[in-house]
Structure 1
Amino acid sequence: MEYLGYFASIIIGLSLGLIGGGGSILTIPILVYLFKVDPELATSYSLFIVGSTALFGGYSHFKLGNLNIKTALYFAVPSIVSILIIREVIFPHIASTLFTIASYAVSKDLLIMLVFSILMITASLSMILDKKTIVKYPKTNFIQLGFIGFLVGIVTGFLGAGGGFLIIPALLFFANLPMKQAVGTSLLIIFINSAIGFLGDLYIGTPIDYTLLFTISGMAFIGMLIGIQFSKRIDGNKLKPLFGWFVFVMGIYIIVKEMFY
């Protein structure tokens, strides 16, 4: 299963390099089901893996001129606030067992996986049903962009997800960025959000298996390199529906596995 996990880790970077998101959607299931990492701990690992890979990809896009730093900061700063609130204040105080229904215990780990699967299905549908035309504001709407950044920070804090599938539409719609700039800028935002979340986890003493972490990250880097090269030749929008169906099936699988097995 570990060999399959390492191969799947390449897809994390491949997704980030091609469409600027989707990496975190894959990271949590890979860690939990293929590497047998506890779901709560997997959210910390995901922050490091996705964040470090996004940093590498963001730098590559910066050299290609596909990165808008000002827009990234306006989005990322509100995200940092919500991430710190969720991971350092709220998350540690959530009980391991939340409640019981007819002798069936609903745990924090189960909640993480179910919420994540719902998010996967929602994100997959947005990719499958992606509209060809996007109505944009004539200029950047920084207030609404910052508000969405705050909401994405909540997702990042609770699920360890970079939120690229939410960031990309926000940058296209509210920041009026072309697709390639939205991808590059998204990677910088993902890095900032993930770095803050992971450093916060280190501060509160989360146990980390660095060997596993660095190995998976290395495989994701390979995928990122491949994805960036492909992005120069392939329109990422054409790959979104295919990737969306893959994520949709994985989301359904998680729900069935967590609820019935």
Structure 2
Amino acid sequence: MIQTTLLLAPLLGTLIGLALGMLGGGGSILTVPMLVYLLGQPPHTAIAASLVIVGLNALSGAWLHHRAGHVHLWQALLFGVYGMPAAYVGARLSAQISGAWLLVLFALLMLVIAGLMLRGGIQTTAARWSQDRWWRVLLGGLGVGFLTGFLGVGGGFLIVPALVLLLGMEMPDAVGSSLVVIALNCAAGLLGHLGDGNLPWLLMLLLVVTGLVGVRLGEQATRRLSASQLRRAFALVVVALAVTLLAINVPAVLAG
């Protein structure tokens, strides 16, 4: 088991970082299943560990994108702050619904988002902070925060489209800015999991270090791809994940 972990962890860490650096999403939705099903971690431990791994990789990616001029820092910070109380309310409400139903709803939401991203007519002129945009930051932060708390996953896959559709950011700017929000959300979420038991610190360190390589590769990829290519790649990944979630959870909903 230890040898398998040592062989798998570098590859998995790189994939996690690559998704974050290139798409601004996919961190948690990849990390938790990898830790549970491939690296043998208990679910609660995997969730807490993923917050550390994804949070540190997102912070690193945000710094790289900021150096390249693709982070709208003020909007990202406000977006994250507004989303925190909404995420709490959403998490409280989600306790009333089964996990299978939550994942089915999440998958349907992902398909809607992918459809919007694939539509060619979306205005993606880079956003500039002005007084008439504060309500869009507030609306986006509250909406994404609530959905993230309610559905339990989805950070970047909700944040990036919201930044594009509500604030008119170019896709590379939305990817970079979303990483700031993800880092904030991971830090806040980790506070609630600190008492969940011992974390696999050595494994986490290995995943973080190799994840930084993936983040760097993903950030470089955003420089080579156009905004429309990034948007299509993001949408296709979202569709693939949504179909997978539906295939796994629709039978459970029907059987329940």
What is the TM-score of this pair, normalised by structure 2? 0.77
Match of 2:249 in 1: 255
CA deviations over 1:58-96 (Å, ceiling 9, x no partner): 000111111111111221112222345677xx59xx6xx
Q: Is the 8 A contact 1:135 1:173 kept in 2?
A: yes
Q: Is 1:210 the counterpart of 2:201 in the alignment?
A: yes
Aligned residues: 240
Match of 2:110 in 1: 123
Q: Go from structure 1 to structure 2 and tell me whether the alpha carbon gap of 1:244 and 1:156 turns closer, same or farther (over 3 Å shift).
A: closer
Partners of 2:173 and 2:87 in 1: how far apart?
A: 24
Q: Is 1:193 the counterpart of 2:185 in the alignment?
A: yes
Report the CA distance between 1:245 and its aligned residue.
4.6
Percent identity, aligned pairs only? 32
Q: Is 1:51 the counterpart of 2:55 in the alignment?
A: yes
The answer to which of 73-82 and 237-246 deviates more is 237-246
Match of 1:18 among 5, 17, 22: 22
Partners of 2:240 and 2:218 in 1: how far apart?
A: 17
Report the CA distance between 1:210 and its aligned residue.
1.6
Match of 1:134 among 118, 122, 144: 122
Match of 2:214 among 212, 223, 232: 223
CA deviations over 1:182-234 (Å, ceiling 9, x no partner): 111111111111111112322xx122222222222222222111111111112
Q: Go from structure 1 to structure 2 and tell me whether the alpha carbon gap of 1:234 and 1:221 turns closer, same or farther (over 3 Å shift).
A: same
Partners of 2:47 and 2:90 in 1: how far apart?
A: 12
Match of 2:13 in 1: 9
Matching of residues 142-157 of structure 1 within 5 Å = 142-157=134-149
Q: Is the 8 A contact 1:21 1:163 kept in 2?
A: yes
Match of 2:231 in 1: 237
Q: Is the 8 A contact 2:124 2:171 kept in 1?
A: no
Q: Is the 8 A contact 1:145 1:170 kept in 2?
A: no
Q: Go from structure 1 to structure 2 and tell me whether the alpha carbon gap of 1:169 and 1:221 turns closer, same or farther (over 3 Å shift).
A: same
Q: Is the 8 A contact 1:11 1:220 kept in 2?
A: yes
Q: Is the 8 A contact 2:140 2:166 kept in 1?
A: no
Q: Go from structure 1 to structure 2 and tell me whether the alpha carbon gap of 1:86 and 1:241 turns closer, same or farther (over 3 Å shift).
A: closer
Q: What root-mean-square deviation, in Å, do the aligned CA atoms of Structure 1 and Structure 2 show? A: 3.2
Q: Which runs of 5+ in 1 are unaligned?
A: 99-107
Q: Which runs of 4+ in 1 moved over 6 A?
A: 136-139, 256-260
Match of 2:159 among 159, 167, 177: 167
Q: Which runs of 5+ in 2 are unaligned?
A: none
Q: Is the 8 A contact 1:16 1:22 kept in 2?
A: yes
CA deviations over 1:22-69 (Å, ceiling 9, x no partner): 222212221221123333333222222211111000000111111111
